[in-house]
Structure 1
Amino acid sequence: MPIVLDLRQAIVHKVHNKTDADLRDMIEGSVDGPEAALPGLGAIFEMIWKNIETKQQDELIQIAQQHLQSVTPTPLS
């Protein structure tokens, strides 16, 4: 019977045992990259979010709010 990995497991498998430099390269290569990379970044963010304290979550929310307030959304067509 074939083994089926869900997206989260596939992302963990891809980044498991990577060096800090490898992980940075993967993230930087995904930022502003193809949209297909976004689920991977989302899975990594989810892992971080679930394993940090509420205070750190609040700090991330504030950073996100600051950046969201500084951009103008492109109109949807």
Structure 2
Amino acid sequence: MNLNLRNAVIHNVSGNTQDELRDTIVDAIQNGEEKMLPGLGVLFEVIWKNASDQEKNEMLQTLETGLK
């Protein structure tokens, strides 16, 4: 079976409201299941591709601080 993970994740959340997207993200993080990590990665990729340079810098600062 040939499954394109990116397309599947995007298809599953396309059209979701902000509240639904938040619930998806929070649920994936709280469950702590390894199988949810690729989906979160796809969502982060969408965020990154649609972020301005300033927003990217803010995300990188947040990430750097969170990893200290």
Q: Which has the higher helix share?
A: 2
Q: Deviations over 1:21-68 (max 9, x none)?
A: 111111000014201000000000001101111111011000000010
TM-superposed deviation, 1:5: 4.4
In the alignment, residue 34 of structure 2 is paired with which amino acid? E
TM score, norm. by length of structure 1 = 0.79
Identity %: 41
Which protein shows a greater Rg? Answer: 1
Distance 1:10 1:28 in 2: 19
RCO (CA 8 Å, sep 6+): is it higher in 1 or 2?
Answer: 2
Counting only pairs closer than 5 Å after superposition, residues 1-77 of structure 1 correspond to structure 2 as 5-32=3-30, 33-69=32-68
Spell out structure 1 runs of 4+ moving beyond 6 A.
Answer: none
RMSD: 1.5
For residues 50 and 19 of structure 2, the distance between their equivalents in structure 1, rounded to whole angstroms, comes to 21
Aligned mates of 2:41, 2:22 — CA distance in 1:
15
Taking the aligned partners of 1:11 and 1:58, their CA distance within structure 2 comes to 25
